């Protein structure tokens, strides 16, 4: 039996394969000096989306590090972040 695709995978594949890629940015969680930060990766720089990873150049970024996908106008397409308040 195959694995079930998660929401993040579905959204990543939607913006990557059905673009236009120039219109989207993926925010990825990084840990620098014990501080979490979110770095933007334009979808136009992503080489592939497969096997649970975003592939950018020689880097493989696991889907679980994706925190948000936005369009070029800042509209949130997908988020894992909880709303405060």
pLDDT tens-digit profile, the chain (85 residues): 444 568 899 999 999 999 899 999 999 999 888 899 999 999 999 999 999 999 999 999 999 999 999 999 999 999 988 776 5
- Digit-coded pLDDT (tens) for 74-83: 999 999 887 7
Q: What is the pLDDT of residue 19?
A: 80
Rg of the chain on CA atoms, in Å = 13
3-state secondary structure of 35: strand
pTM of the model: 0.85
Quote the CA–CA distance of 71 and 61 in Å, as a whole number.
Answer: 20
């Amino acid at each position: 039996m195959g694995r079930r695709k998660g929401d993040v995978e579905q959204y990543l594949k939607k913006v990557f394969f059905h673009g236009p890629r120039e219109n989207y940015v993926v925010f990825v969680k990084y840990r620098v000096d014990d501080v979490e930060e979110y770095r933007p990766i334009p979808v136009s720089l992503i080489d592939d989306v497969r096997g649970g990873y975003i592939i950018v150049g020689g880097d493989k970024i696991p889907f679980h590090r994706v925190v948000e996908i936005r369009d070029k106008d800042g509209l949130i397409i997908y988020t894992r972040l909880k709303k405060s308040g």
